[in-house]
Each structure stands twice: as structure tokens, then as C-alpha cells.
Amino acid sequence: MFYEVIVTDHVRVEPNKFGMDTDEAVRAQLEESFSGFQDKDIGTVVAVLDVQEVKEGIIIPGDGAAYYESTFKLIVFRPELQELVYGQIEEITNFGAFISMGPIRGMIHISQTMDDFVSFSDSGVLTGKDGKKNLIQGDKCIARIVAISYKGEEPKIGLTMRQPGLGKLDWVKAEKDKVDAQTKQAVAAETKKEAKKETKKVKKK
């Protein structure tokens, strides 16, 4: 999920930015420092939205940079357990698929791609044995986050698509159309049944 967070911290502005306006220098430094930054509590930084306040800077002996206590606003992506996410298949492997969710990507094990026995082909396709559903690179999907780990350089996100309403968007639409058609048939049958009852009542009179 995307969040807007406000942070107050000392920003180390490098000497190559001393010729810039202070606020611009702080913003430029923040954009460099937070590019691809990931933290368990904050999340993955997507962008520096605004620099709200920059206080007077200080220089520490032996360090050529200047430090400014600043308050700034960030846009971050912080995954949540059980959250539904939209993404695109970025890579297919023999053990599953990687789905790009924008700022980060998640991994979906082959057993969680669909409610079927799934096989992997050399051409990079995951295929369901009974349903004949296919997953290939570039497919757009909706999945649920079922695991999050912050060990390593980037968070590891585990996903599933083996639940109603999840999977490749084409599958989800087809299932919805099927349910809608069944509902219309049931309503039509019930309406017809009620109409017959009314006709019988009229005949009796």
C-alpha cells in the first residue's frame, strides 16, 4: 500500500551542492540518498514529495559536508499481509513467477499460481493441466500477499493467486462473466416460475 510519510532528520549535503540554494540542495541530496531506499518500518521510498522545513546547517570538523535538520515528505510503498496487489508477470521460472508491483516485486511459487496442477515449459509458460490456463511474461494479475521477509537487501514478498477473485485478469473477468450469466439464468428461471404461479391463480378464478 502507498503511504505519505513525514520525516525529520539531519540531511548530509555533499560539497558539490554548496553552490545551490539550500532548499534545492537538500531536496537534491534527499532524492539521491533515498533513491531505492528500503526500510522495514518506512517501506520502499518511491519519491521525495516535498521539503517542508530546512534549519540552519552545521559543519562537523573533518567532514566537508554540511548537515541540515530538515522535515520532508516521502511517498513510500509498504506491503501488508493479506493485501491485494495488482502486478505484471516480470519473469517465469521452473519454480514460479516474479510479479512486478511497481516499486518492488513479489514471488509466487508455482503451486500458488492457480488451483490446478501446473507445469513449466522451456518457452517460459506455466500451464494448468485441467483448466489449460496459461501464465506468460507480461500478463497482468491480481494476487494476495501471504508472506513478507526483510532479510537481505530488499524485502521478499510471497504471493498467492489460489483464491476466488485472484489470478490473471483475463481469468478473473471470465469467472465474473460466468457467475453473472449464472445469476441471470437463475433470476430468469425464478421469474418464469413466479409468472406460471400467477397464471394458475388467474385460471382458478
One domain for residues 66 and 117: no
Does residue 61 belong to any structural domain of this protein? Answer: yes
pLDDT in tens, 109-133: 999 999 999 999 988 999 999 988 9
Q: Each residue of 69-80: b (16+ CB within 10 Å) or e?
A: ebebebbbbbbe
Q: 124: domain range?
A: 84-171
What percent of the chain is modeled with pLDDT above 70? 96
- Left, alpha or beta for 180 (phi > 0: left; psi -120 to 50: alpha)? alpha
DSSP 77-111: E---TT-EEEEEEEEEETTEEEEE-SSSEEEEEGG
Instruction: Note the pLDDT of residue 58.
Output: 92
Q: What are phi and psi of 27, to 5 degrees?
A: -65, -45
Domain count along the chain: 2
27-45 residue pLDDT tens: 999 999 998 888 888 889 9
> Which one is predicted more confidently, 183 or 194?
183
Question: CATH no. for residue 20?
Answer: 3.30.1490.120
Whether 192 is covered by a domain: the verdict is no
User: Does the pLDDT of residue 147 top 90, yes or no?
Assistant: yes
How much is the mean pLDDT over the chain? Answer: 90
User: Within a domain: residue 15?
Assistant: yes
Residue 178 has pLDDT above 90, yes or no: no
Q: Assess whether 55 and 90 both reside in one domain.
A: no
**At which of 77, 92, 119 does a domain end?**
77
Joined together, the cell numbers standing for residue 110 give 508455482
Is there a single domain that holds both residue 61 and residue 96? no
Say whether both 7 and 26 belong to one domain.
yes
> Which pLDDT score is estimated for 159?
97
Looking at this protein, which amino acid is placed at residue 189? A
Reply yes or no on whether the pLDDT at 199 is more than 80: no
Task: State the cell numbers at 70.
Answer: 530538515
What pLDDT, on a 0 to 100 scale, did the predictor assign at position 187? 87
Whether 186 is covered by a domain: the verdict is no
pLDDT at 202: 62
Indicate which CATH number applies to the domain containing 140.
2.40.50.140
Judge if 88 and 25 occupy the same domain: no
Residue-wise pLDDT tens digits, 52-98? 999 999 988 888 899 999 999 999 999 999 999 999 999 999 999 99
- pLDDT of 205 > 60? The answer is no
Give this prediction's pTM. 0.75
Residue 158 pLDDT more than 80?
Answer: yes
Asked if residue 167 and residue 89 are part of one domain, the reply reads yes
Shared domain check, 90 and 67: no
The domain boundary, picked from 11, 44, 77, lies at 77
